[in-house]
C-alpha cells in the first residue's frame, strides 16, 4: 500500500516537472561581481517584461547558432538592457572577470593590465528578445504585477 502511494507521488512529481519544463527554460550562472549564484529564467512572457537597465543572460540555442543569425559565443554571457526595440534588444555586455583576477591580486603584469583595460571596453550587441533570460526574482515579481 505504501509502495503504491510512493510511486503515485513520484509520478505526480515527474508530471509537474514536465509541465514546468514546457513553459520555461532556466539557466544557472555564477555572477563574479557579487560572488553569488543568480538564476535566470525565460518563459513565453519574458519578451514582454524586459525593461531598460535589466541584467539579462543571453541564451543562444543550437538552431540559432547553426543558422549563424547570432554569435554563438554570446551564449551564457550577461548584459544590461540599453534599449528595447520591438522584438530586438540592445545589450551592453558585462565584462567577464576571470578566476585568476580574484585569486592573485598581488601579482602585477604590465601586459595583462593593458589587455584588461583594452578588453574592458563596453561591447553593444543586438539580440532577439527570445534569446534572453531574466533573473528569476525579477521575472516572478513582474509576472505577479502584470
In a domain, 36, yes or no: yes
The CATH number linked to 135 is 2.30.30
Residue span of the structural domain in which 45 resides: 22-99+107-145
Write out pLDDT tens, residues 58-105. Answer: 999 888 888 888 888 999 999 999 999 989 999 999 987 655 544 455
Write out pLDDT tens, residues 110-134. Answer: 555 555 555 556 789 999 999 999 9
Spatial contact of 132 and 90, defined as CB atoms under 8 Å apart: no
In a domain, 14, yes or no: no
In a domain, 87, yes or no: yes
Query: In sequence order, what are the beta bridge partners of 120?
Result: none
In a domain, 92, yes or no: yes
Contact partners, residue 63, CB within 8 Å, separation at least 6? none
Q: Which residue has the cell 525593461?
A: 51
Spatial contact of 131 and 60, defined as CB atoms under 8 Å apart: yes
Residue 40 φ then ψ, to 5°: -110, 135
Q: Is 130 helix (H, G, I), strand (E, B) or coil?
A: helix
pTM over 0.75: no
Amino acid at each position: 500500500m505504501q509502495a503504491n502511494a510512493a510511486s503515485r507521488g513520484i509520478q505526480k512529481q515527474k508530471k509537474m516537472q514536465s509541465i514546468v519544463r514546457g513553459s520555461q527554460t532556466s539557466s544557472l550562472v555564477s555572477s563574479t561581481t557579487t560572488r553569488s549564484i543568480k538564476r535566470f529564467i525565460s518563459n513565453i512572457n519574458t519578451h514582454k517584461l524586459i525593461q531598460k537597465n535589466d541584467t539579462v543572460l543571453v541564451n543562444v540555442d543550437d538552431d540559432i547558432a547553426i543558422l549563424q543569425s547570432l554569435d554563438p559565443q554570446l551564449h551564457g554571457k550577461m548584459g544590461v538592457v540599453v534599449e528595447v526595440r520591438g522584438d530586438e534588444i540592445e545589450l551592453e555586455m558585462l565584462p567577464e572577470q576571470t578566476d585568476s583576477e580574484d585569486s592573485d591580486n598581488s601579482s602585477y603584469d604590465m601586459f595583462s593590465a593593458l589587455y584588461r583595460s583594452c578588453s574592458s571596453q563596453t561591447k553593444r550587441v543586438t539580440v532577439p528578445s527570445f534569446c534572453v533570460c531574466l533573473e528569476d526574482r525579477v521575472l516572478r515579481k513582474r509576472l505577479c504585477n502584470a
